[in-house]
């Protein structure tokens, strides 16, 4: 029975409980936290109350819990506070909890006892190791005649000048460094100077097994004569809590004892597995290809996944991912270039980046969202680059920004010469065609990007077609030549000189002679033909086709510069000469090297060179890696297989240069498609709302803007963005990476509990 106050109206009430139900009722009241108990027996001693045994049991369990908590903190084991308040256990569960706590306490005490014993044993062995090492140094120093005479004279003088030969005893031990001065004075006073003390500091601090503190100690050795002084010295060492250790007198015994101590220390430091046999790590020599591991972080992991989706790189092969970080979002932006759409994409990715910690803590099973979130940094760079290319295109939701004023002094088609355009004339004349050939019209280029006047010109598409097509070819050829250049680093690292001289050099010369020359023609045409003579400029496409066909009798397409025919003939012949280098010469050299390698073992007999095998200098430049793929494991060199393989590679590269260059025209096609879709969406939706003069007003414009925003996100951001992403992916996989990246390795997947718990064990 008890009385209690309840909150709110503060009513005093009595509650009668059965003894069996008291625990559950009080626990429920404790969960509610709305009552206050009054003690009706304030004069009764606490130890005389009925529930004193239960309280003692709870206090004992609390003590055990605090002991476990202290050990957890001592071991630096992180604990997670969920903030949840568990329910009060039932009385029958308290017995199980009590037994569990008892078991945990006993186990921890046993572990602590064993650990303390091991630490104490380790400390004693470590101190003994230092004693043996320092003692040997002391004895070596004592062999110095001058020092021997000094110590003998000191002890003989204190003994009254007796000339009998001294037979000194000694004790060795370890003492705390701060007690050395007092310890030395006490020895001198008690023994009346009849002892000789040598001490040296231990460089590294030692761990106290009882407290875990780091203690600085010193090794000492005390020489004396007689048992009386020996007893005094030991009592002084005991009083200063110095640890004494047995130390043999002969150097050989000390050496053997030191070896045994080091062995025991090594046993204590063994892998903590409880095994008396140490594990053996043997580094094996093998011809098997090791797995590939590329270290990444949260920023680079997405780009590495793009590369790994094509194929895991061979071991130590150059990794395309660092270059993909720049080239991938840039090529995407060339196809997706729009300032407005780029800003929206950047903001969406920036939101995921800023809130990544919270999103990671709230795990979701939505695979689509997880995929987008994993590529948040890729999307962020794609958005930033899209803003940049949008500025170059001067395109923002299909509209141009007139920030610097147009570079055209435009006139109506039938207006007097010199009359400039006004807004009135623009409204009256719906057709505007820009012609750079008209004098006094084009005053110079726009400071940044494309002139905004092209946005209202009827020949806008013709101009953009020419500009973006040439830009795509330039970017594509530069991208491919960069990929071929990266193959040089692979050949240098793997020491394949044959692949350099008969692989890389012919490939780069072939591409530079044809398509590198085409880029030079593009830039030459842009600089040599100004706005007033551009109509008379010859076609680059026809000129390039005639160059490859040696057709120079076409009168419809005049030369771009003087001496063009001679230069182009030389370039085509150089390109054609590269083909047999890759196709025939490399195959024949491989065969020759195989024969050299075959006779390499028989070229010397008794120190005399026989046969026609290679010299040491010739053997040093052979491409053994190229030969090993044919002759490893005893396989014979099959000239037909090598010739067919080399022919396939040569034809694939030469034709690929043409098809890959044409493939980069997708940059031009998707850029125009994105711009046209954006313009159609503006014209068909937003333009109607802005030009409407009905009474709907703001309400109608709000509905139209909502539809425009939804279509912009769904069509231009998601669908067009996904399309540009896939095309940029193809350009990297097929046109760029195949120039230097084999991608036939396998990934290094270490055994990791963290990966297993996070569900990444199947990667």
Domains of the chain: 1-22+33-43 (no CATH), 112-268 (3.30.70.3450), 465-663 (no CATH)
Q: What percent of the chain has pLDDT over 90?
A: 30
What confidence category does residue 134 fall into, taking pLDDT thresholds of 50, 70 and 90?
Answer: confident
By the 10 Å C-beta count (0-12 exposed, 13-18 middle, 19+ buried), 474 is classed as middle
Q: What percent of the chain has pLDDT over 70?
A: 78
Q: In the beta sheet, which residues pair with residue 13?
A: 4
Q: Taking the CA atoms of 548, 550, 554 and 558 in sequence, report the sign of the dihedral they define.
A: positive
Q: Taking the CA atoms of 755, 757, 760 and 761 in sequence, report the sign of the dihedral they define.
A: positive
Q: Are 125 and 268 in contact (CB under 8 A)?
A: yes
Q: What is the pLDDT of residue 491?
A: 94
Buried b (16+ CB within 10 A) or exposed e, 675-714: bebbbebbeebbeebeeeeeeeeeeebeebeeebeebbee
d(CA 408, CA 420): 10
Tokens of 607: 């120190």
Q: What is the pLDDT of residue 494?
A: 92
Q: Is the pLDDT at 536 greater than 80, yes or no?
A: no
The residue with greater pLDDT, 416 or 545, is 545
The residue with greater pLDDT, 147 or 445, is 445
Q: Is the pLDDT at 145 greater than 70, yes or no?
A: no
Q: What is the pLDDT of residue 411?
A: 46
Q: What is the DSSP letter of 684?
A: I
| pLDDT one-digit tens code per residue, 314-350 | 999 999 999 999 999 999 999 999 999 999 999 999 9
By the 10 Å C-beta count (0-12 exposed, 13-18 middle, 19+ buried), 715 is classed as middle
What confidence category does residue 4 fall into, taking pLDDT thresholds of 50, 70 and 90?
Answer: very low
- What residues contact 497, with CB distance under 8 A and at least 6 apart? 491, 621, 623
Token pair 């066909």: residue: 549
Supply the mean pLDDT for the chain.
80
Instruction: Please give the average per-residue pLDDT across 67-79, as a whole number.
Output: 80
Q: Is the pLDDT at 488 greater than 90, yes or no?
A: yes
d(CA 357, CA 175): 52
Instruction: Please give the average per-residue pLDDT across 714-727, as a whole number.
Output: 94
Q: What is the pLDDT of residue 385?
A: 97
Q: In the beta sheet, which residues pair with residue 609?
A: 604
Instruction: Please give the average per-residue pLDDT across 113-137, as a whole number.
Output: 81
d(CA 300, CA 298): 6
Instruction: Please give the average per-residue pLDDT across 435-450, as a whole number.
Output: 68
pLDDT winner (highest mean) among 145-154, 357-366, 462-471, 573-582: 573-582
Q: Is the pLDDT at 237 greater than 80, yes or no?
A: yes
Q: What is the DSSP letter of 500?
A: I
């Amino acid at each position: 029975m008890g009385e209690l106050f309840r909150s709110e109206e503060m009513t005093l009430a009595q509650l009668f409980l059965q003894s069996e139900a008291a625990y559950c009722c009080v626990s429920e009241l404790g969960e509610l936290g709305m009552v206050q108990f009054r003690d009706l027996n304030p004069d009764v001693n606490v130890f005389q109350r009925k529930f004193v045994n239960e309280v003692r049991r709870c206090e004992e369990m609390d003590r055990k819990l605090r002991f476990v908590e202290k050990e957890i903190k001592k071991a630096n084991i992180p604990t997670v506070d969920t903030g949840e308040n568990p329910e009060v256990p039932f009385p029958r569960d308290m017995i199980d909890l009590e037994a569990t706590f008892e078991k945990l306490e006993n186990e921890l005490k046993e572990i602590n006892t064993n650990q303390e014993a091991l630490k104490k044993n380790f400390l004693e062995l470590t101190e003994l190791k230092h004693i043996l090492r320092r003692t040997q140094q002391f004895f070596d120093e004592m062999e110095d005649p001058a020092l021997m005479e000094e110590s003998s004279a000191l002890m003989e003088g204190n003994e009254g000048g007796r000339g009998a030969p001294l037979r000194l005893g000694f004790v060795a031990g370890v003492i705390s460094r701060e007690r050395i001065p007092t310890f030395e004075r006490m020895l001198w006073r008690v023994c009346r100077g009849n002892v000789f003390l040598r001490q040296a500091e231990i460089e590294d601090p030692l761990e106290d097994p009882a407290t875990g503190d780091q203690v600085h100690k010193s090794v000492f050795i005390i020489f004396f004569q007689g048992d009386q002084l020996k007893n005094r010295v030991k009592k002084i060492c005991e009083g200063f809590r110095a640890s004494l250790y047995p130390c043999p007198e002969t150097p050989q015994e000390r050496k053997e004892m030191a070896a045994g101590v080091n062995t025991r220390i090594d046993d204590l430091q063994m892998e903590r597995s409880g095994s008396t046999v140490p594990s053996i790590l043997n580094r094996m020599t093998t011809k098997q290809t090791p797995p590939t591991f590329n270290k990444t972080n949260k920023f680079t992991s997405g780009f590495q996944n793009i590369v790994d989706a094509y194929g895991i790189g061979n071991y130590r092969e150059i990794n395309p991912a660092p270059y993909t970080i720049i080239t991938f979002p840039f090529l995407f932006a060339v196809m997706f270039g729009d300032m407005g759409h780029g800003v929206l994409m950047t903001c969406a990715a920036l939101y995921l980046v800023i809130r990544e910690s919270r999103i990671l803590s709230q795990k979701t099973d939505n695979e689509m969202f997880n995929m987008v979130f994993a590529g948040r940094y890729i999307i962020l760079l794609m958005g930033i680059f899209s803003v940049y290319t949008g500025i170059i295109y001067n395109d923002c939701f299909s509209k141009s920004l007139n920030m610097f004023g147009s570079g055209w002094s435009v006139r109506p088609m039938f207006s007097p010469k010199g009359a400039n355009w006004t807004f009135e004339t623009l409204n009256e004349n719906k057709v505007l065609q820009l012609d750079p050939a008209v004098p006094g019209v084009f005053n110079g280029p726009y400071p940044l990007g494309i002139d905004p006047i092209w946005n209202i010109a009827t020949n806008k598409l013709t101009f953009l077609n020419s500009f973006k097509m040439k830009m795509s070819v330039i970017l594509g050829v530069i991208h491919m030549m960069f990929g071929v250049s990266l193959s040089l680093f692979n050949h240098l690292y793997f020491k394949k000189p044959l692949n350099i001289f008969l692989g890389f050099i012919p490939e780069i010369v072939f591409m530079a002679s044809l398509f590198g020359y085409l880029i030079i023609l593009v830039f030459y045409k842009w600089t040599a033909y100004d706005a007033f003579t551009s109509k008379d400029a010859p076609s680059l496409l026809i000129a390039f086709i005639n160059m490859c066909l040696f057709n120079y009798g076409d009168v419809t397409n005049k030369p771009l510069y003087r001496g063009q025919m001679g230069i182009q003939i030389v370039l085509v012949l150089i390109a054609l000469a590269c083909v047999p280098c890759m196709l025939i010469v490399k195959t024949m050299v491989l065969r020759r090297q195989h024969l050299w390698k075959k006779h390499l073992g028989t070229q010397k007999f008794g120190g005399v060179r026989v046969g026609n095998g290679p010299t040491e200098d010739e053997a040093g430049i052979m491409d053994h890696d190229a030969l090993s793929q044919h002759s490893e494991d005893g396989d014979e060199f099959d000239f037909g297989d090598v010739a067919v393989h080399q022919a396939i590679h040569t034809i694939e590269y030469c034709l690929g240069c043409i098809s890959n260059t044409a493939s980069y025209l997708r940059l031009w096609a998707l850029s125009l498609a994105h711009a046209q879709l954006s313009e159609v969406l503006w014209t068909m939706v937003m333009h109607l709302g802005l030009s409407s003069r009905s009474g709907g007003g703001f309400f109608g414009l709000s509905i139209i803007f909502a539809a425009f925003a939804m279509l912009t996100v769904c069509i231009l951001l998601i669908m067009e963005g996904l399309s540009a992403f896939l095309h940029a992916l193809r350009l990297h996989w097929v046109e760029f990476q195949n120039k230097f990246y084999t991608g036939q390795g396998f990934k290094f997947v270490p055994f990791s509990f963290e990966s297993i718990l996070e569900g990444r064990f199947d990667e």
